């Protein structure tokens, strides 16, 4: 659709056709959705002051890589004893190591369009914000943005869109194709994940065909009343259209789906329970829960006064607790920490179980190729806490013993959905990923790292290779052949 041709009338016609009631009721039971607010409040109340032994048993269950039940998560959320929290934090780190080892996957967001028909009180893209500079990238501009990201060494993107006829399915498909087609020397984007508004099954099938990786939609808040208050108008005011979008995605064949909460809209303990119920319902219907869980906190945004008045802002202390409890509740799922958080907080919470994070992040429309360094409120959705370069972030990870993985093999070898979750639960994916992490990190060090990062990166890579030799003797020979081929200039070899 041409930007010039979009009139108020055509927008309102478009809005009327987005929601398909039958694609909501299809998944509901007895006319109810799977979030029962009263029941969640009741479970949280019932599990106040949990016995120490009970908490220790729950921690042990998580260490066995089993998903927790609502009563168990509620008990963890109610812990007050400092020592017990110490044990929960420690277990979160152990689970991360057991399932995901010392790897961190990195990606970058790419914002394509900030036109939006919705009125989310917390977002600078909301339609009432007349100060926002509206822009939809042309496909040439998408290519230029991608080129910048590729030339930093990124292999994975999360591509983000507002909800608007200008960024409907045709535009999304065109932008994804453009991103996959963009090459710079040895570099290319190998996995395009998207964060886009809820769609019908028909449109989701098109997304599947174009080859998206993960489809990510945050419920923002699971609390029905709060949801209504913060989404007073627009398509997004329909709680259930959003709640069931990942069910629809699964039905459309997209089996890597991602959930999240915007923490700060309502009580964080309630929201963690909501994430768990969402996981359980996806498991019940499709045999697999979310591929990742995100836990963004509300950040300041230009011309968005709601944020200053928000009553449920999450403190740093509670943020750590909620991350650890999510880690224990769904031990095998990826957890995404974003550059909304400052470097200091990122350092503190990554050891609590985070598996993915973004770096060199810009969230203004066109911000990578425009190369403006200061954040510009009127061009972006909110303000970031960390704008460090990918090179700096990776160097810090390496100094702290983490290897950055650019692996995208799982998705390209069909290890997605239930298949990858089963491998993760049984500790098997950890080994595939270890091999692929080293191979992709080798590529990145040779092609993109600064001298300083290269030096520090070599140490970590040598340590990983010794571990592979010791722990995986059966694949070591093949691995080292691949490794040498990459050193000699070949690219994109994986297990
Ligand atoms: N427009 C799509 C939608 O709402 O589903 C795409 C999502 S939006 C561009 C990406 C996410 O940013 C939202 O789901 C929300 O959780 C988050 N977000 C919005 N405003 C925010 C703020 N002020 N601080 C932190 N995160 C915010
Ligand atoms: Fe639009 Fe998404 Fe922002 Fe809501 S959060 S105003 S739907 S871009």
The pLDDT tens digits for 144-176 are 999 999 999 999 999 999 999 999 999 999 999
**What token pair was written down for 116?**
């939006």
In the chain, what percentage of residues exceed pLDDT 70?
94
Instruction: Please indicate whether residue 9 or residue 191 has the higher confidence score (pLDDT).
Output: 191
Atom of ligand 2 nearest to the CA of 220: 5
Looking at residue 182, its pLDDT comes to: 98
- Kind of pairing, strands 334-337 and 356-358? parallel
* CB-ligand 1 contact for 336 (6 Å cutoff): no
- Cα of 315 to ligand 1 centre, how many Å? 20
3-30+102-409 has CATH 3.20.20.70 classification: yes
Whether pLDDT at 78 is above 90? yes
Higher pLDDT: 7 or 256? It is 256
Categorize the per-residue pLDDT at 380 as very low, low, confident or very high, splitting at 50, 70 and 90. confident
pLDDT at 432 over 80: no
216 lines ligand 2 (CB under 6 A): no
Query: Can you read off the two tokens belonging to residue 191?
Result: 């996995």
Neighbours of 98 (CB within 10 A): 16
Q: Is the pLDDT of residue 373 over 80?
A: no
Q: Which helix (H) or strand (E) holds 108?
A: strand 103-113
Structure tokens at 181: 């087609």
What does the alpha-carbon distance between residue 84 and residue 59 come to, in Å, rounded to a whole number? Answer: 10
Over the chain, what is the mean pLDDT?
93
Whether the CB-CB separation of 234 and 162 falls below 8 Å is answered with: no
Work out the average pLDDT over 264-280: 98
Atom of ligand 1 nearest to the CA of 197: 5
- Using alpha carbons, select from 73, 53, 69, 66 the residue that is nearest to residue 99: 66
- Quickly list H helices, 264-362: 268-286, 306-309, 316-329, 343-349
Look at the alpha carbons of 160, 166, 168, 170 in this order and tell me if their dihedral is positive or negative: negative
Domain boundaries, the chain: 3-30+102-409, 37-93, 416-487
Q: When comparing pLDDT for 261 and 378, which is higher?
A: 261
Q: What does the block give as tokens for 271?
A: 């929201």
Q: What is the pLDDT of residue 471?
A: 87
What percent of the chain has a predicted confidence (pLDDT) above 90? 85
Band (6; pLDDT cuts 50, 70, 90): confident
Position 429 pLDDT exceeds 90 = no
In whole angstroms, what is the distance from residue 64 CA to residue 195 CA? Answer: 32
**For residues 55, 57, 60 and 66, what is the CA-based torsion angle, rounded to 10 degrees?**
-100
219: Cβ below 6 Å to ligand 1? no
Tell me the C-alpha distance between 172 and 168, whole Å. 6
- Mean pLDDT over 185-206 rounds to 96
Q: What is the DSSP string of 457-481?
A: HHHHHHHHHHHHHHH-HHHHHHHHH
Residue 161, H or E segment: strand 156-161
Report the distance separating Cα 248 and Cα 205, nearest Å.
9
The pLDDT of residue 82 is above 60: yes
| Predicted structure pTM score | 0.95
Q: Which atom of ligand 2 is nearest to the CA of 119?
A: 6
pLDDT digits (tens, 9 = 90+) for 284-331: 999 999 999 999 999 999 999 999 999 999 999 999 999 999 999 999
* Residue 349: predicted pLDDT: 97
Residue 187's H or E segment, with its range, is strand 187-188
The mean per-residue pLDDT over the stretch 116-130 comes to: 96
Q: Are 278 and 34 in contact (CB under 8 A)?
A: yes
Q: Please give the distance, rounded to the nearest whole angstrom, from the Cα atom of residue 282 to the centre of ligand 1.
A: 22
CA–CA distance from 434 to each of 137, 364, 428 (Å)? 37, 34, 10
Would you state the pLDDT for residue 3?
60
Nearest Cα neighbor of 260 from 216, 229, 225 is 216
| 428 pLDDT higher than 70 | no
- Per-residue confidence (pLDDT) for residue 51, from 0 to 100: 97
How many CA within 13 A on the CB side of residue 461?
24
pLDDT of residue 5: 60
pLDDT at res. 333: 94
* Cα of 322 from ligand 1 centre, angstroms: 19
Residues 273 and 34: their CA atoms lie apart, in Å, by 11
Strand pairing class (103-113; 334-337): unpaired
CB atoms within 10 A of CB 344: 11
Q: What is the mean pLDDT of residues 58-74?
A: 97
pLDDT mean over 43-67: 97
pLDDT value of residue 413: 67
């Amino acid at each position: 659709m041409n930007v010039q041709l979009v009139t108020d009338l055509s927008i309102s016609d478009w809005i009327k056709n987005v929601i398909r009631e039958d694609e909501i009721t299809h998944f509901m039971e007895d006319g109810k959705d799977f979030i029962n607010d009263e029941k969640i409040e009741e479970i949280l109340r019932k599990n106040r002051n949990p016995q120490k032994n009970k908490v220790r048993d729950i921690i042990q269950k998580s260490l066995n890589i089993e998903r927790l039940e609502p009563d168990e998560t509620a008990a963890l959320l109610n812990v007050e004893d400092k020592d017990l929290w110490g044990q929960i934090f420690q277990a979160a780190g152990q689970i991360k190591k057991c399932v995901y080892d010392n790897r961190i996957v990195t990606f970058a967001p790419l914002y394509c369009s900030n036109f939006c028909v919705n009125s989310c009180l917390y977002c600078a893209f909301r339609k009432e914000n007349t100060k926002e500079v509206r822009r939809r990238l042309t496909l040439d501009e998408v290519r230029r943005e991608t080129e910048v990201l590729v030339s930093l060494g990124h292999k994975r993107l999360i591509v983000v869109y507002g909800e608007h006829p200008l960024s409907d399915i045709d535009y999304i498909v065109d932008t994804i194709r453009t991103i996959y087609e963009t090459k710079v020397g040895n570099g290319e984007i190998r996995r395009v994940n998207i964060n886009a508004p809820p769609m019908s099954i028909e449109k989701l099938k098109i997304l599947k065909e174009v080859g998206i990786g993960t489809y990510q939609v945050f419920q923002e808040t699971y609390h029905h009343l709060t949801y209504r208050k913060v989404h007073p108008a627009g398509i997004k005011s329909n709680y259930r259209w959003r709640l069931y979008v990942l069910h629809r995605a699964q039905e459309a064949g997209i089996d890597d789906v991602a959930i999240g909460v915007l923490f700060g809209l309502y009580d964080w303990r309630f929201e963690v329970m909501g994430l768990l119920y969402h996981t359980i319902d996806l498991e019940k219907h499709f045999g697999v829960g979310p591929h990742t869980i995100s836990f963004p906190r509300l950040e300041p945004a230009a011309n968005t006064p709601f944020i200053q008045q928000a009553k449920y802002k999450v403190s740093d202390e509670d943020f750590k607790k909620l991350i650890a409890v999510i880690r224990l509740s769904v031990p095998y799922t990826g957890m995404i920490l974003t550059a909304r958080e400052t470097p200091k907080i990122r350092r503190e919470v990554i050891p609590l179980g985070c598996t993915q994070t973004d770096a060199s992040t810009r969230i203004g429309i066109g911000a990578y190729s425009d190369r403006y360094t200061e954040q510009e409120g009127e061009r972006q959705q909110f303000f970031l806490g960390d704008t460090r370069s990918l090179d700096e972030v990776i160097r810090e990870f390496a100094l702290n013993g983490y290897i950055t993985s650019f692996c995208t093999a799982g998705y390209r070898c069909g290890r997605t959905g239930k298949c990858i979750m089963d491998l993760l639960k049984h500790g098997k994916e950890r080994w595939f990923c270890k091999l692929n992490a080293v191979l992709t990190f080798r590529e990145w060090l040779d092609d993109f790292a600064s001298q300083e990062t290269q030096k520090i990166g070599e140490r970590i890579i040598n340590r990983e290779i010794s571990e592979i030799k010791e722990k995986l003797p059966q694949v070591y020979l093949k691995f080292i052949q691949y490794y040498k081929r990459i050193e000699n200039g070949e690219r994109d070899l994986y297990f």
